[in-house]
Amino acid sequence: MSITIYSTPTCPYCIMAKNFFKKHDVAYNEKDVAADQMAAQEMIKKSGQMGVPVIEVDGEIIIGFDEAMLKKILKISV
């Protein structure tokens, strides 16, 4: 499973999402859109969004930190 989170260092919802992944031992790739303009453009192209976080799970885009949706996609029951 491939997971990418487009985030910024100061975004509270980005931090919550990354903590969620760590809590559930989920490996992810992080792209800091504040420091990486190419990543920012990639995020906008994929999601149509300029706000973070944008999370991509195997090509499926999740806007914001949607814990219920992440649990469903990642098959986490707790």
Separation CA 63–CA 51 (nearest Å): 8
- DSSP letter at 22 equals H
CATH at 68: 3.40.30.10
For the stretch 5-64, pLDDT in tens is: 999 999 999 999 999 999 999 999 999 999 999 999 999 999 999 999 999 999 999 999
Using an 8 Å Cβ cutoff, are 14 and 55 in contact?
no
Going by C-alpha positions, the residue among 48, 55, 73, 41 that lies closest to residue 7 is 55
pTM, two decimal places: 0.94
Q: Is the peptide bond before 53 cis (omega within 30 degrees of 0)?
A: yes
Model pLDDT, residue 66: 96
Our count of domains for the chain comes to: 1
H helices of the chain, in order, are 12-23, 37-47, 67-74
Length of the chain equals 78
34: domain range? 3-74
